Structure 1
Amino acid sequence: MSNQIVVTQAEDTRARYNVALLGEETAGQLSLRVQEVQPGEGTPLHIHTAQAETFHVISGNFRFRAGNEEITGGPGFTVHIPKNTPHCFLYEGKENNGQLISVLTPGIHDGFILNIPRAQAAGMPTTELTEMAEQFGVEIIGPKLSARD
Protein backbone atom coordinates (compact mmCIF):
# COMPACT_ATOMS: atom_id res chain seq x y z
CA MET A 1 0.00 0.00 0.00
CA SER A 2 1.22 3.47 -0.85
CA ASN A 3 1.85 5.93 1.97
CA GLN A 4 1.90 8.82 -0.47
CA ILE A 5 -0.90 11.36 -0.81
CA VAL A 6 -1.82 11.97 -4.44
CA VAL A 7 -3.50 15.18 -5.62
CA THR A 8 -4.65 15.70 -9.20
CA GLN A 9 -5.84 19.09 -10.40
CA ALA A 10 -8.80 19.44 -12.80
CA GLU A 11 -6.61 20.60 -15.69
CA ASP A 12 -4.35 17.54 -15.28
CA THR A 13 -7.39 15.26 -15.30
CA ARG A 14 -8.78 16.87 -18.47
CA ALA A 15 -5.40 16.69 -20.21
CA ARG A 16 -5.31 12.91 -19.67
CA TYR A 17 -8.77 12.29 -21.16
CA ASN A 18 -10.44 12.61 -17.75
CA VAL A 19 -8.21 10.15 -15.92
CA ALA A 20 -8.06 11.53 -12.38
CA LEU A 21 -5.79 8.85 -10.89
CA LEU A 22 -3.47 6.42 -12.62
CA GLY A 23 -2.57 3.09 -11.11
CA GLU A 24 1.07 4.13 -11.10
CA GLU A 25 0.09 7.03 -8.82
CA THR A 26 -1.77 4.77 -6.35
CA ALA A 27 0.83 2.01 -6.16
CA GLY A 28 -1.45 -0.15 -8.31
CA GLN A 29 -4.43 0.06 -5.96
CA LEU A 30 -6.85 1.68 -8.44
CA SER A 31 -7.31 3.86 -11.49
CA LEU A 32 -10.10 6.45 -11.55
CA ARG A 33 -11.70 8.13 -14.54
CA VAL A 34 -14.37 10.84 -14.60
CA GLN A 35 -16.20 10.43 -17.89
CA GLU A 36 -18.45 12.86 -19.74
CA VAL A 37 -20.58 10.87 -22.17
CA GLN A 38 -22.55 12.26 -25.09
CA PRO A 39 -26.17 11.22 -25.74
CA GLY A 40 -26.35 7.76 -27.30
CA GLU A 41 -22.70 6.97 -26.61
CA GLY A 42 -21.30 4.09 -24.60
CA THR A 43 -18.80 1.28 -24.59
CA PRO A 44 -18.80 -1.95 -26.55
CA LEU A 45 -19.41 -5.18 -24.67
CA HIS A 46 -16.07 -6.11 -23.14
CA ILE A 47 -14.29 -8.04 -20.39
CA HIS A 48 -11.44 -6.93 -18.13
CA THR A 49 -9.44 -10.10 -17.53
CA ALA A 50 -7.47 -8.79 -14.55
CA GLN A 51 -9.55 -5.92 -13.13
CA ALA A 52 -12.93 -5.27 -11.58
CA GLU A 53 -14.74 -2.08 -12.61
CA THR A 54 -17.08 0.05 -10.53
CA PHE A 55 -19.26 2.80 -12.02
CA HIS A 56 -20.94 5.64 -10.14
CA VAL A 57 -23.38 7.88 -12.03
CA ILE A 58 -23.01 11.61 -11.38
CA SER A 59 -25.60 12.92 -13.86
CA GLY A 60 -27.96 11.50 -16.46
CA ASN A 61 -29.41 8.03 -16.91
CA PHE A 62 -27.18 5.14 -17.93
CA ARG A 63 -28.11 1.62 -18.94
CA PHE A 64 -25.58 -1.06 -18.06
CA ARG A 65 -25.25 -4.64 -19.16
CA ALA A 66 -23.36 -6.72 -16.60
CA GLY A 67 -23.26 -10.44 -17.26
CA ASN A 68 -26.81 -11.37 -18.31
CA GLU A 69 -28.46 -8.42 -16.53
CA GLU A 70 -29.47 -5.03 -17.88
CA ILE A 71 -29.86 -2.36 -15.23
CA THR A 72 -30.54 1.37 -15.47
CA GLY A 73 -29.53 4.03 -13.00
CA GLY A 74 -29.41 7.77 -12.55
CA PRO A 75 -27.49 10.11 -10.26
CA GLY A 76 -26.19 8.27 -7.20
CA PHE A 77 -26.46 4.81 -8.84
CA THR A 78 -23.43 2.54 -8.40
CA VAL A 79 -22.66 -0.84 -9.94
CA HIS A 80 -19.62 -3.05 -9.26
CA ILE A 81 -18.61 -5.50 -11.98
CA PRO A 82 -16.16 -8.30 -11.06
CA LYS A 83 -13.26 -9.10 -13.40
CA ASN A 84 -14.06 -11.49 -16.26
CA THR A 85 -17.69 -10.30 -16.37
CA PRO A 86 -18.94 -9.07 -19.76
CA HIS A 87 -20.19 -5.49 -19.46
CA CYS A 88 -20.93 -2.26 -21.29
CA PHE A 89 -22.94 0.91 -20.81
CA LEU A 90 -24.99 3.38 -22.83
CA TYR A 91 -25.88 6.95 -21.89
CA GLU A 92 -29.61 7.28 -22.54
CA GLY A 93 -29.80 11.07 -22.32
CA LYS A 94 -31.16 12.97 -25.32
CA GLU A 95 -29.81 16.52 -24.90
CA ASN A 96 -27.12 17.02 -22.26
CA ASN A 97 -24.02 14.94 -21.65
CA GLY A 98 -24.04 12.50 -18.74
CA GLN A 99 -21.24 12.00 -16.25
CA LEU A 100 -20.00 8.96 -14.43
CA ILE A 101 -16.97 7.85 -12.47
CA SER A 102 -15.32 4.54 -13.27
CA VAL A 103 -12.83 2.88 -10.94
CA LEU A 104 -10.65 -0.02 -12.07
CA THR A 105 -9.15 -2.25 -9.38
CA PRO A 106 -6.36 -3.06 -9.19
CA GLY A 107 -4.83 -0.04 -10.88
CA ILE A 108 -2.99 -1.82 -13.66
CA HIS A 109 -3.14 -1.28 -17.41
CA ASP A 110 -2.92 2.53 -17.28
CA GLY A 111 -2.20 2.32 -20.99
CA PHE A 112 -5.79 1.25 -21.59
CA ILE A 113 -7.44 4.28 -19.98
CA LEU A 114 -4.85 6.66 -21.47
CA ASN A 115 -4.45 5.31 -25.00
CA ILE A 116 -7.91 4.05 -25.98
CA PRO A 117 -9.67 7.45 -25.60
CA ARG A 118 -6.90 9.15 -27.60
CA ALA A 119 -7.13 6.51 -30.33
CA GLN A 120 -10.93 6.81 -30.47
CA ALA A 121 -10.70 10.61 -30.73
CA ALA A 122 -8.21 10.20 -33.59
CA GLY A 123 -10.67 7.93 -35.42
CA MET A 124 -8.80 4.63 -35.09
CA PRO A 125 -10.79 1.79 -36.73
CA THR A 126 -12.57 -0.69 -34.44
CA THR A 127 -10.31 -3.60 -35.43
CA GLU A 128 -7.21 -1.67 -34.37
CA LEU A 129 -8.90 -0.49 -31.14
CA THR A 130 -9.72 -4.12 -30.36
CA GLU A 131 -6.10 -5.15 -30.86
CA MET A 132 -4.89 -2.27 -28.68
CA ALA A 133 -7.37 -3.15 -25.90
CA GLU A 134 -6.11 -6.75 -25.84
CA GLN A 135 -2.61 -5.48 -25.02
CA PHE A 136 -4.08 -4.08 -21.79
CA GLY A 137 -6.12 -7.09 -20.63
CA VAL A 138 -9.42 -6.07 -22.22
CA GLU A 139 -11.34 -8.28 -24.64
CA ILE A 140 -13.97 -6.57 -26.77
CA ILE A 141 -16.60 -9.24 -27.37
CA GLY A 142 -19.59 -7.41 -28.84
CA PRO A 143 -21.23 -4.13 -29.84
CA LYS A 144 -22.48 -1.40 -27.55
CA LEU A 145 -26.07 -1.39 -26.37
CA SER A 146 -28.66 -0.04 -28.80
CA ALA A 147 -30.75 2.98 -27.92
CA ARG A 148 -34.37 2.28 -27.00
CA ASP A 149 -37.10 3.94 -29.01
Structure 2
Amino acid sequence: MTINQNGVLMQPGQGDSYLVAGDIVTFKAISEDTDGKYALFEIFVEPQIGPPPHIHTHEDEAFYIQEGTFEFHLDDQTIVANVGTFLHSPKGQLHYFKNIGSTTGKLLCWTTPAGIEKFFAEVGTKVASPLAPPPPITPEVIERIIATAPKYGIQILIPTADASA
Protein backbone atom coordinates (compact mmCIF):
# COMPACT_ATOMS: atom_id res chain seq x y z
CA MET A 1 0.00 0.00 0.00
CA THR A 2 1.21 3.50 -0.80
CA ILE A 3 0.08 6.48 1.23
CA ASN A 4 0.88 9.98 0.01
CA GLN A 5 -0.51 13.49 0.29
CA ASN A 6 -3.10 12.66 -2.38
CA GLY A 7 -4.61 9.67 -0.60
CA VAL A 8 -4.30 5.88 -0.68
CA LEU A 9 -3.28 3.63 -3.56
CA MET A 10 -4.05 -0.08 -3.20
CA GLN A 11 -3.11 -2.26 -6.17
CA PRO A 12 -4.90 -5.54 -7.02
CA GLY A 13 -3.83 -8.30 -4.65
CA GLN A 14 -2.64 -5.87 -1.99
CA GLY A 15 -4.07 -5.54 1.51
CA ASP A 16 -4.06 -7.67 4.63
CA SER A 17 -6.46 -10.63 4.34
CA TYR A 18 -8.24 -12.39 7.20
CA LEU A 19 -10.34 -15.52 7.34
CA VAL A 20 -13.48 -14.53 9.28
CA ALA A 21 -16.07 -17.30 9.75
CA GLY A 22 -15.72 -18.69 6.23
CA ASP A 23 -15.25 -15.35 4.46
CA ILE A 24 -11.94 -13.90 3.31
CA VAL A 25 -11.86 -10.18 4.17
CA THR A 26 -9.11 -8.08 2.53
CA PHE A 27 -8.53 -4.59 3.88
CA LYS A 28 -8.29 -1.97 1.12
CA ALA A 29 -8.56 1.14 3.34
CA ILE A 30 -8.54 1.22 7.14
CA SER A 31 -8.83 3.79 9.93
CA GLU A 32 -5.19 4.82 9.71
CA ASP A 33 -5.54 5.49 5.97
CA THR A 34 -8.71 7.60 6.17
CA ASP A 35 -8.36 9.47 9.47
CA GLY A 36 -11.05 7.13 10.81
CA LYS A 37 -13.67 8.33 8.34
CA TYR A 38 -14.27 5.03 6.54
CA ALA A 39 -12.94 1.54 5.85
CA LEU A 40 -13.19 -0.49 2.65
CA PHE A 41 -12.94 -4.27 2.38
CA GLU A 42 -13.10 -6.79 -0.40
CA ILE A 43 -14.92 -9.92 0.79
CA PHE A 44 -14.87 -13.35 -0.85
CA VAL A 45 -17.86 -15.42 0.28
CA GLU A 46 -18.16 -19.15 -0.35
CA PRO A 47 -21.47 -20.59 -1.63
CA GLN A 48 -24.23 -20.86 0.97
CA ILE A 49 -22.18 -18.86 3.51
CA GLY A 50 -22.81 -15.47 5.10
CA PRO A 51 -22.89 -13.77 8.49
CA PRO A 52 -25.69 -14.33 11.00
CA PRO A 53 -28.30 -11.63 11.60
CA HIS A 54 -26.59 -8.71 13.35
CA ILE A 55 -26.83 -5.01 14.17
CA HIS A 56 -24.00 -2.45 14.16
CA THR A 57 -24.23 0.38 16.68
CA HIS A 58 -21.04 2.19 15.62
CA GLU A 59 -21.04 2.22 11.81
CA ASP A 60 -23.12 2.22 8.64
CA GLU A 61 -22.31 -0.48 6.09
CA ALA A 62 -22.67 -0.40 2.32
CA PHE A 63 -22.17 -3.28 -0.08
CA TYR A 64 -21.44 -3.45 -3.81
CA ILE A 65 -21.74 -6.86 -5.47
CA GLN A 66 -18.79 -7.63 -7.77
CA GLU A 67 -19.33 -11.35 -8.40
CA GLY A 68 -22.08 -13.82 -7.59
CA THR A 69 -25.62 -13.62 -6.29
CA PHE A 70 -26.46 -12.78 -2.70
CA GLU A 71 -29.64 -12.73 -0.68
CA PHE A 72 -29.64 -9.73 1.65
CA HIS A 73 -31.99 -9.17 4.56
CA LEU A 74 -32.41 -5.56 5.72
CA ASP A 75 -34.84 -5.57 8.64
CA ASP A 76 -37.93 -7.30 7.18
CA GLN A 77 -36.98 -6.77 3.53
CA THR A 78 -35.35 -9.54 1.45
CA ILE A 79 -33.37 -8.54 -1.64
CA VAL A 80 -31.68 -10.72 -4.25
CA ALA A 81 -28.52 -8.82 -5.17
CA ASN A 82 -26.66 -9.58 -8.40
CA VAL A 83 -23.48 -8.08 -9.86
CA GLY A 84 -23.68 -4.29 -9.83
CA THR A 85 -26.19 -4.07 -6.97
CA PHE A 86 -25.47 -1.52 -4.23
CA LEU A 87 -27.05 -1.75 -0.77
CA HIS A 88 -26.76 0.53 2.26
CA SER A 89 -27.47 -0.59 5.82
CA PRO A 90 -27.47 2.24 8.38
CA LYS A 91 -26.27 1.60 11.91
CA GLY A 92 -29.03 0.15 14.04
CA GLN A 93 -30.53 -1.88 11.18
CA LEU A 94 -30.82 -5.65 11.51
CA HIS A 95 -29.12 -7.17 8.46
CA TYR A 96 -27.37 -10.21 7.08
CA PHE A 97 -26.61 -11.84 3.75
CA LYS A 98 -25.84 -15.19 2.15
CA ASN A 99 -24.12 -16.16 -1.09
CA ILE A 100 -26.96 -18.08 -2.76
CA GLY A 101 -24.91 -18.96 -5.83
CA SER A 102 -22.87 -22.08 -6.56
CA THR A 103 -19.51 -20.28 -6.87
CA THR A 104 -17.51 -17.95 -4.64
CA GLY A 105 -19.03 -14.47 -4.54
CA LYS A 106 -17.18 -11.20 -4.12
CA LEU A 107 -18.37 -7.90 -2.74
CA LEU A 108 -17.00 -4.61 -1.55
CA CYS A 109 -18.01 -3.39 1.88
CA TRP A 110 -17.67 0.24 3.02
CA THR A 111 -18.11 1.17 6.66
CA THR A 112 -18.43 4.67 8.06
CA PRO A 113 -16.82 5.48 10.32
CA ALA A 114 -13.89 3.07 10.19
CA GLY A 115 -12.98 0.77 13.06
CA ILE A 116 -14.71 -2.52 12.37
CA GLU A 117 -11.53 -3.74 10.66
CA LYS A 118 -10.10 -4.11 14.16
CA PHE A 119 -12.91 -6.59 14.92
CA PHE A 120 -12.13 -8.62 11.78
CA ALA A 121 -8.42 -8.68 12.65
CA GLU A 122 -9.15 -9.74 16.24
CA VAL A 123 -11.57 -12.57 15.46
CA GLY A 124 -10.08 -13.63 12.13
CA THR A 125 -6.98 -15.52 11.11
CA LYS A 126 -4.53 -13.73 8.86
CA VAL A 127 -4.04 -15.54 5.54
CA ALA A 128 -1.43 -15.10 2.83
CA SER A 129 -3.90 -15.00 -0.06
CA PRO A 130 -7.56 -14.06 -0.41
CA LEU A 131 -7.88 -16.89 -2.94
CA ALA A 132 -6.98 -19.70 -0.50
CA PRO A 133 -9.96 -21.97 0.21
CA PRO A 134 -11.25 -21.34 3.72
CA PRO A 135 -11.36 -24.16 6.26
CA PRO A 136 -14.70 -25.16 7.82
CA ILE A 137 -16.25 -22.92 10.46
CA THR A 138 -15.77 -24.43 13.93
CA PRO A 139 -17.75 -23.88 17.13
CA GLU A 140 -14.63 -22.21 18.61
CA VAL A 141 -14.63 -19.63 15.79
CA ILE A 142 -18.31 -18.87 16.35
CA GLU A 143 -17.81 -18.55 20.11
CA ARG A 144 -14.87 -16.15 19.61
CA ILE A 145 -16.93 -13.95 17.28
CA ILE A 146 -19.94 -13.87 19.61
CA ALA A 147 -17.75 -13.08 22.64
CA THR A 148 -15.82 -10.30 20.86
CA ALA A 149 -18.67 -8.61 18.94
CA PRO A 150 -20.02 -6.47 21.83
CA LYS A 151 -16.59 -4.84 22.26
CA TYR A 152 -17.09 -3.38 18.76
CA GLY A 153 -20.76 -2.46 19.15
CA ILE A 154 -22.04 -5.46 17.19
CA GLN A 155 -25.10 -7.34 18.38
CA ILE A 156 -25.29 -10.84 16.87
CA LEU A 157 -28.71 -12.49 16.87
CA ILE A 158 -28.31 -16.23 16.82
CA PRO A 159 -31.08 -17.90 14.81
CA THR A 160 -33.00 -20.48 16.82
CA ALA A 161 -34.66 -23.60 15.50
CA ASP A 162 -38.41 -23.40 15.29
CA ALA A 163 -39.70 -25.50 18.18
CA SER A 164 -42.85 -26.44 16.21
CA ALA A 165 -40.89 -27.91 13.31
Q: TM-score range by the shorter chain?
A: 0.7 to 0.9
User: What is the TM-score normalised by the length of structure 2?
Assistant: 0.76
Residue 15 of structure 1: CA displacement?
A: 3.9
Paired residue for 1:71?
A: 79
Amino acid at match of 1:118: T
Root-mean-square deviation (CA, aligned residues, Å) is: 2.2
The alignment covers a number of residue pairs equal to 140
Q: How big is the shift at 1:139?
A: 1.1
Does residue 130 (structure 1) correspond to residue 146 (structure 2)? The answer is yes
Matched-pair contact (CA < 8 Å) for 1:62–1:72 = yes
Task: State the SS of the aligned residue for 1:100.
Answer: strand
Which of the pair is proportionally richer in strand? 2
CA contact (8 A) 1:19 1:113 kept: no
Distance 1:62 1:15, change over 3 A: closer
**Residues 9 and 116 of structure 1, relative CA distance in 2, 3 Å threshold:** farther
Q: Which runs of 5+ in 1 are unaligned?
A: 144-149
Distance 2:59 2:16 in 1: 23
Counterpart contact for 2:55–2:94, Cα < 8 Å: yes
Report how far residue 141 of structure 1 moved: 1.1
Percentage of pairs with the same residue:
26
2:129 maps to none
CA drift of 1:136 comes to 1.2
Moved more, 7-16 or 47-56: 7-16
**2:124 alignment partner, SS class:** helix
Q: Which has the larger radius of gyration?
A: 2
Structure 2 segments unaligned to the other structure (5+ residues):
19-24, 127-133, 160-165
Tell me, yes or no, if structure 1 residue 55 matches structure 2 residue 55: no
Q: 1:63–1:89: 8 Å Cα contact kept in structure 2? A: yes
CA contact 2:123–2:144 (8 Å) conserved in 1: no
Q: TM-score, normalising length from structure 1?
A: 0.83
Which structure has more helix as a fraction of its residues? 1
**Aligned partners of 2:113 and 2:16: how far apart in 1?**
22
Q: Select between 43-52 and 104-113 the one with higher mean Cα deviation.
A: 104-113
Q: Residue in 1 aligned with 2:8?
A: 6
